[in-house]
């Protein structure tokens, strides 16, 4: 019986192969172990999710299978290096990371697993078609071997993210800044999303009315610890929302003078909407009980706490109205409150001193928040705002002019750069930023998942007809499709920096225009050793430990204890590198060199490209 099932599926796969090689997400339970008591069905007796809730018809496939397979291999290579060379299983962490970057690394691993499991069918058909001789017995053997191997691969990395649950220094993060806590929330929500997706696609039939035929992937047992940690840290971080200054907005850190910055607010929005959509509930009451909801779960089994939705909506409406973007449409870094001395002497109470510093990650995190807000509310404006921002990012890399070496604000020659990249002066923070941007861009544009379809059904949003979510979804995916060449250009640029050990560097591409990435007028680079741009004197000393008085004690920032910003104040001079002092064989050996953070940037951009190549609505 098992053999017949496999052959049946295989023939189906091969039959559709010539027509479509980029399958829409749907149940692909070829990988599910058959439990001894389960009925083996030749035909699925229930329709797959994709038929129950109509998905947009797949576009005409355009991606040759060889191209998919090339990116698949590049992505797996990059992930292997990140995990084999930098992750220590016995410690359950990446020892060279710091707490917040580790949270981001875990997020990348979970998200990459989601991309891989979404496309198990494609890769399967690819490999099979290479070696298929038409002999059914042989095909069957290959399929079985491949399925086992693939499942083993997924479990290999999932085990590592599970170990990281225990290796993560959760106690330390509790005493750090609000953004640090929110990275932790996003990381565990991403882990839960993967668990549910892998189970939906390969094990569970989520629409089965018969509870006893439900088969869950074993990894879903990690839902409760992951949900617990997400809930605890969301609870702690939401204390950073403050209405006493600027009529709202998150402050960055309770240990510093108030600084309402883009990243903390974007994280708060993304985490709030993530909690609303994907948080399954938490019944662990240590160290403190969550507020128990009176409401029943929705019909999809999730609590969908309206206060999470409210927080995301209010958070975005504050950020969007905050005037934090510059003339190029990009988010600056954040606001100081002029004249603030203490809570009793708060100065203007207004967000009136903008640090105009532009980073890649500040243009990224909001994107996944906007997608979630659209999904939750149905308002297209959220997606429109996201696309406007993405377009501004593309322009700020000089796109579509690939030939120029001229700095355009966030890159050159169509390749994304942070200002610290070209001079090799990024801190550990700065080295993590581009990967974060690509992670959230991919999240903004990814396919809708079975779990989200269940949410929409549960919210009674499937009967919207032509004007409903589907129409907007197709419009959204069509916009996303246009980013493909830019993403591919950036992925290729990242691959160029791979050294002999397969390690990817920080400064992507192959230019020699070192150290010509001027900071914006009036900017201080808090994230990379505090370099200052022109006309930034007004900001000097505004960010300091709470309680310290003087305006220019930059050495007393107190950041080392709170944020682990390394080497603050002892930074190499930004303009220290010139071609004469330094004749590098490899620009990416300068400064901190290749690290687990730069590797994660490579993983993220390759995953984005892989997603674009394998998603029918994006290819
Ligand atoms: C297909 O055949 C090639 C050459 O014999 C081999 O290297 C490759 O591993 C085979 N692929 C699979 C999936 O068995
Ligand atoms: C559920 O499935 C099991 C096993 O296939 C079967 O014995 C049982 O009768 C089913 N229950 C319902 C309510 O259909
Ligand atoms: C809500 O769902 C959770 C997780 O599935 C479950 O443990 C809990 O009992 C449900 N609560 C209610 C009130 O149905
Ligand atoms: C927004 O900021 C710019 C300078 O960054 C300023 O000129 C403008 O007046 C501000 N607009 C509002 C509505 O505060
Ligand atoms: C964000 O602000 C812009 C410009 O002020 C506005 O056009 C847009 O509608 C706002 N977005 C949302 C979701 O309210
Ligand atoms: C969806 O409709 C059902 C049946 O009318 C109702 O019980 C449920 O509360 C609705 N769900 C939402 C989120 O409005
Ligand atoms: C990088 O650029 C240099 C000079 O422009 C060229 O000689 C070299 O081949 C390029 N390397 C790669 C890998 O494209």
For ligand 5, residues with CB inside 6 Å are 320, 381-382, 385
Report d(CA 425, CA 602) in Å as an integer.
18
Place of tokens 């691969």: 153
In the structure encoding, which two tokens stand for residue 344, read together? 């009793």
- From the CA of 302, the nearest ligand is 3
CB 197 within 8 A of CB 114: yes
Question: From atom 12 of ligand 7, which residue's Cα is the shortest distance away?
Answer: 510
Question: From atom 6 of ligand 2, which residue's Cα is the shortest distance away?
Answer: 212
Question: From atom 9 of ligand 3, which residue's Cα is the shortest distance away?
Answer: 297
Select from 176, 288, 158 the least CA-distant residue to 226: 158
Distance 259 CA to ligand 4 centre (A): 18
Select from 469, 397, 404, 405 the least CA-distant residue to 434: 397
- From the CA of 210, the nearest ligand is 2
**Which atom from ligand 1 is nearest to the alpha carbon of 128?**
13
CB 312 within 8 A of CB 240: no
Q: Are strands 531-532 and 411-412 parallel, antiparallel or unpaired?
A: unpaired
Question: From atom 5 of ligand 1, which residue's Cα is the shortest distance away?
Answer: 131
Report d(CA 357, CA 334) in Å as an integer.
8
pLDDT tens, residue by residue, 241-267:
999 999 999 999 999 999 999 999 999
For ligand 7, residues with CB inside 6 Å are 496, 510
Report d(CA 604, CA 320) in Å as an integer.
27
Is it true that the peptide bond before 323 is cis, omega within 30 degrees of 0?
A: no
Select from 92, 94, 72, 163 the least CA-distant residue to 597: 94
- What predicted TM-score, i.e. pTM, was given to this entire model? 0.85
**Which atom from ligand 4 is nearest to the alpha carbon of 356?**
5
- Most ligand 7 atoms within 8 A of CB, residue of 405, 413, 498, 510 to mutate: 510
Write down the pLDDT at residue 556.
Answer: 36
**Which atom from ligand 5 is nearest to the alpha carbon of 379?**
13
Distance 579 CA to ligand 7 centre (A): 17
In the structure encoding, which two tokens stand for residue 206, read together? 């989520």
Distance 123 CA to ligand 1 centre (A): 13
Check residue 325 and report its DSSP letter: B
- From the CA of 282, the nearest ligand is 3
Question: From atom 6 of ligand 1, which residue's Cα is the shortest distance away?
Answer: 131
CA angle (268 as vertex; 264, 274 as ends), nearest 5? 145
Q: Does the Cβ of 354 fall within 6 Å of ligand 4?
A: yes
- From the CA of 132, the nearest ligand is 1
Distance 388 CA to ligand 4 centre (A): 19
CA angle (465 as vertex; 463, 466 as ends), nearest 5? 160
Select from 233, 117, 249 the least CA-distant residue to 186: 233
- Most ligand 4 atoms within 8 A of CB, residue of 262, 323, 520 to mutate: 323
DSSP string, 152-188: HHHHHHHHHHHHHHHHS-HHHHHTS-HHHHHHHHHHH
Distance 298 CA to ligand 3 centre (A): 9
Question: From atom 2 of ligand 4, which residue's Cα is the shortest distance away?
Answer: 323
CB 504 within 8 A of CB 498: yes
Q: Does the Cβ of 296 fall within 6 Å of ligand 6?
A: no
**Which atom from ligand 6 is nearest to the alpha carbon of 304?**
13
Distance 354 CA to ligand 4 centre (A): 10
In the structure encoding, which two tokens stand for residue 175, read together? 């005493």
CB 98 within 8 A of CB 428: yes
Residues 6+ apart with CB under 8 A from 347: 337, 338, 339, 340, 341
Question: From atom 13 of ligand 4, which residue's Cα is the shortest distance away?
Answer: 323
Q: Does the Cβ of 142 fall within 6 Å of ligand 1?
A: yes
Question: From atom 12 of ligand 6, which residue's Cα is the shortest distance away?
Answer: 459
Q: Does the Cβ of 35 fall within 6 Å of ligand 1?
A: no
* Cα 575 off chain centre by: 32
Report d(CA 39, CA 402) in Å as an integer.
57
CA distances from 195 to 191, 322, 414, 553 (A): 6, 37, 35, 47
**Which atom from ligand 7 is nearest to the alpha carbon of 510?**
1
**Which atom from ligand 1 is nearest to the alpha carbon of 130?**
1
Question: From atom 10 of ligand 5, which residue's Cα is the shortest distance away?
Answer: 320
Q: Where are the beta strands (DSSP E) in 254-337?
A: 259-261, 334-337
Question: From atom 2 of ligand 7, which residue's Cα is the shortest distance away?
Answer: 510
Write down the pLDDT at residue 148.
Answer: 83
Question: From atom 14 of ligand 3, which residue's Cα is the shortest distance away?
Answer: 297
Question: From atom 11 of ligand 6, which residue's Cα is the shortest distance away?
Answer: 459
Question: From atom 5 of ligand 4, which residue's Cα is the shortest distance away?
Answer: 326
Report d(CA 495, CA 508) in Å as an integer.
8
Select from 26, 93, 91, 22 the least CA-distant residue to 58: 22
Question: From atom 1 of ligand 1, which residue's Cα is the shortest distance away?
Answer: 131
Task: Give the CA-trace dihedral at 440, 445, 449, 452, to 10 degrees.
Answer: 80
Write down the pLDDT at residue 467.
Answer: 54
Distance 132 CA to ligand 1 centre (A): 10
Write down the pLDDT at residue 18.
Answer: 32
CB 26 within 8 A of CB 52: no
Could you say which residues of the chain have pLDDT below 50?
1-60, 550-583
Distance 459 CA to ligand 6 centre (A): 6
Distance 149 CA to ligand 1 centre (A): 14
> 3-class SS at 141?
helix
Question: From atom 3 of ligand 4, which residue's Cα is the shortest distance away?
Answer: 323
For ligand 3, residues with CB inside 6 Å are 280-281, 296-297, 301
Distance 458 CA to ligand 6 centre (A): 7
């Amino acid at each position: 019986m098992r053999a017949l099932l496999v052959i049946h599926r295989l023939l189906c796969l091969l039959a559709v192969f010539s027509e479509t090689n980029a399958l829409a997400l749907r149940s692909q339970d070829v990988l599910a172990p058959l439990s001894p008591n389960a009925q083996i069905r030749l035909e699925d007796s229930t329709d797959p999710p994709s038929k129950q809730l109509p998905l947009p018809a797949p576009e005409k496939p355009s991606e040759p299978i060889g191209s998919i397979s090339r990116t698949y291999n590049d992505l797996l290579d990059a992930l292997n290096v990140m995990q084999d060379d930098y992750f220590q299983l016995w410690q359950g962490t990446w020892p060279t990371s710091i707490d917040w970057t580790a949270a981001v690394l875990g997020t990348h691993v979970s998200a990459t697993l989601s991309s891989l499991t979404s496309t198990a069918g494609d890769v399967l058909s690819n490999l099979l078609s290479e070696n298929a001789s038409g002999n059914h017995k042989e095909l069957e053997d290959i399929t079985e071997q491949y399925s086992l191997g693939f499942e083993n691969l997924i479990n290999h990395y999932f085990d590592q993210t599970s170990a990281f649950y225990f290796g993560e220094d959760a106690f330390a993060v509790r005493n750090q800044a609000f953004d640090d806590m929110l990275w932790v929330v996003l990381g565990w929500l991403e882990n839960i999303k993967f668990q549910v997706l892998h189970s939906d696609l390969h094990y569970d039939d989520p629409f089965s009315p018969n509870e006893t035929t439900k088969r869950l992937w074993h990894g879903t047992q990690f839902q409760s610890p992951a949900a617990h940690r997400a809930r605890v840290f969301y609870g702690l971080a939401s204390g950073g929302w403050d209405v006493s200054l600027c009529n709202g907005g998150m402050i960055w850190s309770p240990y510093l003078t108030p600084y309402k910055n883009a990243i903390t607010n974007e994280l708060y929005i993304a985490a709030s909407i993530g909690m609303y959509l994907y948080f399954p509930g938490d019944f662990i009451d240590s160290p403190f009980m969550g507020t128990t909801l009176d409401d029943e779960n929705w019909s999809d089994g999730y609590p969908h706490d309206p206060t999470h939705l409210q927080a995301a909506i209010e958070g975005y409406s504050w950020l969007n109205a905050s005037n934090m973007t510059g003339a190029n449409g990009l988010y600056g870094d954040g606001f100081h409150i002029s004249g603030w001395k203490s809570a009793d002497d708060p100065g203007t109470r207004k967000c009136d001193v903008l640090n105009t510093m532009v980073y890649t990650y500040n243009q990224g995190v909001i994107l996944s928040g906007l997608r979630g807000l659209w999904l939750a509310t149905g308002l297209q404006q959220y997606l429109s705002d996201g696309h406007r921002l993405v377009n501004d990012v593309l322009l700020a890399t000089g796109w579509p002019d690939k030939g120029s070496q001229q700095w355009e604000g966030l890159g050159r020659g169509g390749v994304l750069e942070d200002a610290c990249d070209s001079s090799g002066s990024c801190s550990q923070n700065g080295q993590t930023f581009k990967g974060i941007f690509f992670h959230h861009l991919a999240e903004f544009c990814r396919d809708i998942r079975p779990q989200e379809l269940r949410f929409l059904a549960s919210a009674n949003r499937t009967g919207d007809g032509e004007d409903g979510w589907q129409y907007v979804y197709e419009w959204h995916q069509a916009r996303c499709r246009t980013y493909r060449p830019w993403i591919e250009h950036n992925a290729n640029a990242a691959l160029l920096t791979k050294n002999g050990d397969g390690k990817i560097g920080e400064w992507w591409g192959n230019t020699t225009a070192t150290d010509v990435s001027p900071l914006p007028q009036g900017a201080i680079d808090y994230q990379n050793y505090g370099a200052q741009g022109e006309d930034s004197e007004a900001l000097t000393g505004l960010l300091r430990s709470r309680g310290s008085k003087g305006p220019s004690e930059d050495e007393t920032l107190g950041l080392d204890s709170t944020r682990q910003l390394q080497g603050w104040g002892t930074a190499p001079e930004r303009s220290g590198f010139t071609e004469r002092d330094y004749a590098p064989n490899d620009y990416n050996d300068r400064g901190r060199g290749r690290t687990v953070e730069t590797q994660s940037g490579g993983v993220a951009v390759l995953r984005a490209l892989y997603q674009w190549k394998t998603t029918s609505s994006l290819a």
